[in-house]
């Protein structure tokens, strides 16, 4: 018995379809070459990127050094400016202190002058007051002297009257008549 083998219909149609979509060796080689080329390009780009990173790192280091240098120079310059400013402020303070001392000296002179004038005025007032007191005392002394003279005169008159009475009594006049004595 002999058997006949037949290929199913879908298989034959798939075979035809696969023949149509079959990739040729030439295309395969071209795809492989393109893939290899892409890999080489990527590798080259990575290498260039690594070199650029190295260069960038070098440049960053140089820039950091330069920046540090500039910062140092700027700090020195700022310190110099601060020193100059401090000197200027000290100079200004010294000038201001001199000016204040000068003003204080002028004010002290003015106060001394004013005090001298006031002292003269007070001395003048004291002199005037002393004169007035002296005049008052002189008037008082004169008045006291006049009063004393009157008292003395009156006392002398009374003493004479007493003496005369005593003499009259001794002589024997006992008359109680009023005795007038003229001074």
pLDDT digits (tens, 9 = 90+) for 74-132: 999 999 999 999 999 999 999 999 999 999 999 999 999 999 999 999 999 999 988 88
Min mean pLDDT across 17-21, 43-47, 168-172, 175-179 is at 175-179
Residues 91 and 150 in one domain: no
Specify whether the CB–CB gap between 181 and 167 falls below 8 A. Answer: no
Residues 3, 179: Cα–Cα separation, whole Å: 219
Residues 85, 63: Cα–Cα separation, whole Å: 31
Residue 15 has what pLDDT? 81
Residues 138, 145: Cα–Cα separation, whole Å: 10
Of residues 56 and 11, the one with the higher pLDDT is 56
Residue 34 lies in a domain: yes
Host domain of residue 104: 26-109
Q: How many domains in the chain? A: 2
Q: Among 90, 109, 128, where does a domain finish? A: 109
Residue 81 has what pLDDT? 95
Q: Among 83, 109, 135, where does a domain finish? A: 109
> What is Dmax (Cα atoms) for the chain?
233
């Amino acid at each position: 018995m002999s058997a006949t083998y037949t290929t199913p219909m879908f298989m034959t149609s798939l075979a035809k379809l696969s023949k149509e979509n079959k990739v040729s060796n030439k295309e395969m080689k071209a795809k492989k070459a393109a893939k290899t080329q892409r890999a080489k390009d990527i590798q080259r780009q990575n290498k260039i990127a690594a070199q650029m990173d190295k260069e960038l790192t070098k440049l960053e280091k140089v820039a950091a050094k330069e920046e540090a240098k500039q910062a140092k120079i700027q700090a020195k310059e700022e310190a110099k400016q601060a020193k100059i400013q401090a000197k200027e402020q000290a100079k200004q303070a010294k000038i201001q202190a001199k000016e204040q001392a000068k003003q204080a000296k002028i004010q002290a002179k003015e106060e001394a002058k004013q005090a001298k004038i006031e002292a003269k005025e007070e001395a003048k007032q004291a002199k005037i007051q002393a004169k007035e007191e002296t005049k008052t005392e002189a008037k008082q002394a004169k008045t006291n002297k006049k009063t004393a003279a009157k008292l003395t005169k009156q006392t002398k008159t009374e003493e004479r009257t007493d003496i005369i009475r005593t003499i009259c009594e001794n002589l024997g006049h006992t008359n109680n008549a009023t005795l007038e004595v003229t001074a």
